[in-house]
């Protein structure tokens, strides 16, 4: 088993990475827990619900299950209330422990519920998508979406453990794997050129879920994120904001098309291509490196052409972004690969990138799979 430690002012906790961790989740439940509430969705519950609950039953605690609707479009305040209804209806107290069993939506909503229920209870992340394993389950960001912006209502609340079972990736469709890999290559692009080059060499193995390659990719991604979060848990210095490479463009895609039309990782992958283009235009990124980013996003199976939302609509959507300050759009840009910075960009430069990177003929189509891996 690989263990990555996260150490922040908001809490210190381990990330356990190995095959079969679903059967070991009870090890992460504190002895003083009074009840355990598994929050999941019908798809994940059908695959792993009973197995996880059998593992948790070994604690001798009361185990409850809450099933939320599946999909980014349900990452809402109304869905959040379903968790509160269950907690209050079953008289769960401050020593209850929530278990987020699912992808990024389940993790974010469950974490937010844990952050605010009785002013804060403990929770364990059990991510079942690659994207959640390498990104959203780590670092304590929790939130729900608002019709005017993604993740605009939330809180920082660290889990007490993250349980990453690499076996669960075998049940994911290829599109979900590609979406998760977008967040993996992001870490190399912003902070680790050697890891980026490793991803270039190993893209086929990663898409094919080679166990050694996937385990290393997850562990290295978590190590980079843990290091960043330990230094800047609440984005006060600007370091943690660098983890949002591609997200300003990507969130606009998600909001503009409607949550769920594109997977989050697909939108981020495409957003990284756009951020690389903008970096080449205004931040000095060599064109060859911008082309490497585009080629790798394509190699992992994510879209590299954005939907045509209309330039004005793009700018309106990007204004509803947590990195915007005083009405100025701020982007994570790369003067060089592996050395990301936060900075503003002229509106005319942003419009030029949008014009070069959108698909005009079909603005609503789902991103195509580049190739299938045998």
Neighbouring CB atoms inside 10 A of 334's CB total 27
Binding residues for NAD(+): 70-75, 104-108, 128-129, 141, 150
Binding residues: 70-75, 104-108, 128-129, 141, 150, 183, 247, 264
pTM to 2 decimals? 0.92
Q: Looking at residues 155-168, what average pLDDT do you find?
A: 98
pLDDT 10s digits, 107-152: 999 999 999 999 999 999 999 999 999 999 999 999 999 988 889 9
Rg (CA), the chain: 20
Catalytic residue (one of 122, 207, 251, 294): 251
Place of tokens 């990177």: 357
Place of tokens 């430069």: 349
In the chain, % helix, strand, coil (3-state, to 5) comes to 50, 20, 30
* C-alpha span between 206 and 183 (Å, rounded): 13
Vertex 360, ends 245 and 320: CA angle to 5°? 40
Q: Are 155 and 166 in contact (CB under 8 A)?
A: no
pLDDT 10s digits, 8-60: 999 999 999 999 999 999 999 999 999 999 999 999 999 999 999 999 999 99
Q: Options 1.20.1090.10, 3.30.465.10, 2.40.50.140, 2.60.40.1220; which CATH number does 174-359 get?
A: 1.20.1090.10
* C-alpha span between 93 and 275 (Å, rounded): 45
Quick one: CATH architecture of 2-170?
A: 3-Layer(aba) Sandwich (3.40)
Catalytic residue check, 322: no
Catalytic residue check, 212: no
Neighbouring CB atoms inside 10 A of 347's CB total 12
The domain locations on the chain are 2-170, 174-359
Q: Are 205 and 194 in contact (CB under 8 A)?
A: no
Q: Looking at residues 268-273, what average pLDDT do you find?
A: 98
* C-alpha span between 88 and 249 (Å, rounded): 39
Mean pLDDT, the chain, as a whole number?
94
The better pLDDT of the pair 34, 328 is held by 34
Binding residues for Zn(2+): 183, 247, 264
């Amino acid at each position: 088993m690989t263990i990555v430690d996260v150490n922040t002012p908001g809490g210190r906790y381990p990330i356990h990475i190995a095959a079969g961790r679903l059967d070991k989740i009870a090890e992460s439940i504190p002895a003083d827990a009074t009840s355990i509430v598994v929050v999941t969705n019908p798809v994940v519950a059908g695959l792993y619900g009973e197995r996880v609950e059998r593992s948790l039953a070994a604690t001798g605690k009361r185990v409850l299950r809450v099933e939320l609707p599946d999909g980014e479009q349900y990452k809402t305040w109304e869905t959040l209330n379903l968790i509160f209804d269950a907690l209050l209806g079953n008289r769960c107290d401050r020593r209850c422990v929530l278990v987020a069993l699912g992808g990024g939506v389940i993790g974010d909503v469950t974490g937010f519920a844990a952050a605010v229920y009785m002013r804060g209870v403990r929770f364990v992340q059990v991510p079942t998508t690659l994207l959640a394993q390498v990104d959203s389950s780590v670092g304590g960001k929790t939130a729900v979406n608002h019709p005017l912006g993604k993740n605009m209502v939330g809180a920082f609340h660290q889990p007490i453990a993250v349980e990453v079972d690499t076996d669960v990736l075998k049940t994911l469709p290829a599109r979900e794997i590609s979406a998760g890999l977008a967040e993996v290559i992001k870490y190399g692009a912003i902070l680790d050129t050697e890891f980026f080059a490793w991803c270039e060499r190993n893209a086929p193995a990663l898409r094919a879920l080679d166990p050694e390659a996937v385990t290393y990719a997850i562990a290295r991604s978590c190590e980079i994120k843990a290091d960043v979060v330990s230094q800047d848990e609440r984005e006060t210095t600007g370091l943690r904001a660098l983890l949002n490479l591609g997200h300003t463009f990507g969130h606009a895609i998600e909001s503009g098309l409607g949550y769920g039309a594109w997977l989050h990782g697909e939108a981020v992958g495409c957003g990284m291509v756009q951020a690389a283009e903008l970096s080449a235009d205004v931040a000095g990124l060599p064109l060859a490196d911008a082309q490497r980013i585009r080629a790798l996003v394509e190699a992992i199976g994510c879209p590299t052409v954005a939907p045509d939302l209309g330039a004005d609509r793009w700018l309106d959507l990007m204004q509803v972004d947590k990195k915007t300050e005083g009405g100025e759009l701020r982007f994570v840009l790369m003067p060089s690969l592996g050395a990301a910075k936060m900075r503003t960009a002229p509106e005319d430069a942003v419009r030029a990138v949008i014009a070069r990177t959108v698909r005009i003929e079909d603005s609503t189509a789902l991103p195509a799979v580049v190739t299938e891996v045998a």
